[in-house]
Structure 1
Amino acid sequence: MEEVQKYITELKLEGRMSENTIRSYAVDLNKVASFAHEKGIFSGEELTSDFLAEYIEKLKDEGKSASTIARNIVSIKSFCKYLCGVKKLKYDISENLKSPKVEGKAPEILTRTQIKKLFEMPESNSPKGQRDLAILNLLYATGIKVSELAKLKLEDLDMQIGSIEVRGAKRERMIPFDKATRDVLMSYLNEGRRHLITSTSESLLFVNYKGESISRQGLWKMLRTYAKEAGLDMTITPEMLRHSFAAHMVERGADLDAVQFMMGHVSPSSMKKYAKETKDYIRDVYNSTHI
């Protein structure tokens, strides 16, 4: 179905969605197109609400999880909106599709003892170890996403006041970090980083052994290795450090809105509030609740 390929291409050109989201849409919609071909449907304008309902029933019969079905429905609804926009459909045939209730899984949280053990694993006298220790500290100290960490540049780092500036597509936010994180970052900047970069003009804060941007897979592998060395019988992900940052601050009485602001999970009203008060208040919350 050529409309699927055109839609995916348009998403890539728009640049509004992450690569992972676009890839997910492509997988879901290509499966819809394959099923449509089995039914003798070869064009987007031939799709019907009955066909979509039949496809969702097929997913249920195959034993797909509620979250998988919900994700497929999101992909389909987005595609149908596109088809309406390009006049392939007269009306939205997906409007009656209802997502199943997805039980939210509580995020896994590390204890402070587990985090301490993890931080003890990198070799502090090697360039890679200094980099890894800086990464671990920054993930836990700020709650930033892996994708955000990989894009951090030297100019985003303020060592004097101890903060990073995270630049998103729609907003920017300042996140403080503690003295311990500042110290390991300083060691990395003064010693380890110069042995990893391939050019003195490199602007990225963290690079891999090739001097290139760090990948999500590389960070996962690093965490798994250190978790095993620390004797932690669990699979640790960057997201767990992010969730631990939030949980530990809230446990110690941090303002939930301030924590959400630092993590980038904020409503427009919260953004407006913190755009006015911001940096001093956020730092006060951070200093009083993060260890």
Structure 2
Amino acid sequence: MNYQTIDEYLDFVRLEKGLSHNTRQAYRLDLVQYIDYMKEHNISDLNGIVPPMIQQYIRTLNETGKSSKSIARLISTLKGYHQFLIREQYMTKDPTILIKPPKTKSSLPDVLTIEEINRLLDFKSGDKPIDCRNKVMLELLYGCGIRVSELISLNLSDIHLSMGFIHVTGKGNKERIVPLNQTCIDILSDYINLFRTDLDHNNSNTLILNYRGQMISRQTVWKVLKTRAIEANINKTISPHTLRHSFATHLLENGADLRSVQELLGHSDISTTQIYTHINSKQIRDIYNQYHPRAKK
């Protein structure tokens, strides 16, 4: 039993499902640890993996403090991997067929208020290329609700200022069009026409560049946002995804329909978008409890 089948499976999900590099790396880590565990327990052949061994492995992960959400994701990965092995005739039986993922608690995403968003984004881009770039990043994350991976992957050819939209390639290489508000158009115009050339040392097509003229990293985007949140006196745990959550929540709070928000976010399943309606429901419940005379204790 070796790691060749893992490489083959990752090639399969890349070609057939269009999974991103980061997702494939997470799959690889899960599967390598899984195979290592089986080897440590004297399983030398794939067909020697049986349901009790998998259940024992999951119990071990539970005991080490793995969250239910992480274990559910792992089980999903294992199921896909073993189904691939059967399809490629590496195995004759699927040992995961009766393995069920644990129930996970549905947690509501953190969002910023509109007042906090205004404080976060209300800063001068100045006359430095890096400052203008940073403002572009934050304006796009909130103004378009894109993922950080989508932001750093944007090319100049994806930006259509005269028509007021950007072309986004999301998870699974799914493409969508997202409108630009006037603030985004103005700051993008300044960045592209006045500042970006000072960063572009390699004649790159990538929109967001670091000081070396290369694609910016996710970590740098996170650090820029964290620094700006401190400057804006926002005392919440914040990440690029917080701005995406806030984008969706504020649209729904102001009357947007769920289907349109789904399209803007690039969700393949509307049930993923529905979590934002739960936020609104909680807000309504809080208002009711605060103001209705029968709800007061």
Q: TM-score, normalised by structure 1?
A: 0.85
Tell me if the contact between 2:164 and 2:179 (Cα under 8 Å) persists in the aligned partners. yes
The CA distance in 2 between the partners of 1:266 and 1:89, in whole Å, is 31
Tell me if the contact between 1:56 and 1:69 (Cα under 8 Å) persists in the aligned partners. yes
The CA distance in 2 between the partners of 1:54 and 1:10, in whole Å, is 24
Tell me if the contact between 2:167 and 2:178 (Cα under 8 Å) persists in the aligned partners. yes
- Which residue number corresponds to residue 171 of structure 1? 174
Secondary structure at the residue paired with 1:41?
A: coil
Shift in CA distance, 257/5, structure 1 to aligned 2, threshold 3 Å: same
What amino acid does structure 2 have at the position aligned with 1:7?
I
Is 2:157 aligned against 1:152?
no
Offset of 1:202 from its aligned partner? 2.3
What amino acid does structure 2 have at the position aligned with 1:67?
K
Tell me if the contact between 1:109 and 1:243 (Cα under 8 Å) persists in the aligned partners. yes
- Which residue number corresponds to residue 229 of structure 1? 231
Is 2:241 aligned against 1:242?
no
Encode CA deviations 1:201-253: one digit per residue, 9 max, x unaligned.
42111111110011111101111111112222223211011111111011000
Offset of 1:104 from its aligned partner? 1.5
Give the alignment of 1:117-196 within 5 angstroms.
Answer: 117-121=119-123, 123-168=125-170, 169-196=172-199
Give the alignment of 1:57-136 within 5 angstroms.
Answer: 57-121=59-123, 123-136=125-138
Offset of 1:18 from its aligned partner? 1.7
The CA distance in 2 between the partners of 1:37 and 1:170, in whole Å, is 35
Aligned residues: 266
- Which residue number corresponds to residue 257 of structure 1? 259
Tell me if the contact between 1:223 and 1:237 (Cα under 8 Å) persists in the aligned partners. yes
- Which residue number corresponds to residue 288 of structure 1? none
Identity score, percent: 35
Secondary structure at the residue paired with 2:167?
A: strand
- Which residue number corresponds to residue 11 of structure 1? 10
Tell me if the contact between 1:227 and 1:235 (Cα under 8 Å) persists in the aligned partners. no
What amino acid does structure 2 have at the position aligned with 1:92?
D
Offset of 1:70 from its aligned partner? 0.8
1:37 is aligned, of 22, 36, 39, to 39
The CA distance in 1 between the partners of 2:11 and 2:84, in whole Å, is 14
Secondary structure at the residue paired with 1:259?
A: helix
What amino acid does structure 2 have at the position aligned with 1:20?
N
What amino acid does structure 1 have at the position aligned with 2:10?
L
What amino acid does structure 1 have at the position aligned with 2:161?
M
The CA distance in 2 between the partners of 1:62 and 1:195, in whole Å, is 49
Encode CA deviations 1:40-72: one digit per residue, 9 max, x unaligned.
112212111221122122223333221121122
Secondary structure at the residue paired with 1:82?
A: helix
Is 2:200 aligned against 1:197?
yes
What amino acid does structure 1 have at the position aligned with 2:110?
E
The CA distance in 1 between the partners of 2:207 and 2:112, in whole Å, is 26
Shift in CA distance, 66/13, structure 1 to aligned 2, threshold 3 Å: closer
The CA distance in 2 between the partners of 1:32 and 1:205, in whole Å, is 39
Secondary structure at the residue paired with 1:190?
A: helix
Tell me if the contact between 1:121 and 1:229 (Cα under 8 Å) persists in the aligned partners. no
Offset of 1:10 from its aligned partner? 4.0
The CA distance in 2 between the partners of 1:80 and 1:14, in whole Å, is 13
Q: CA RMSD in A?
A: 1.9
The CA distance in 1 between the partners of 2:63 and 2:9, in whole Å, is 32
Q: Which runs of 5+ in 1 are unaligned?
A: 269-291
The CA distance in 1 between the partners of 2:141 and 2:185, in whole Å, is 13
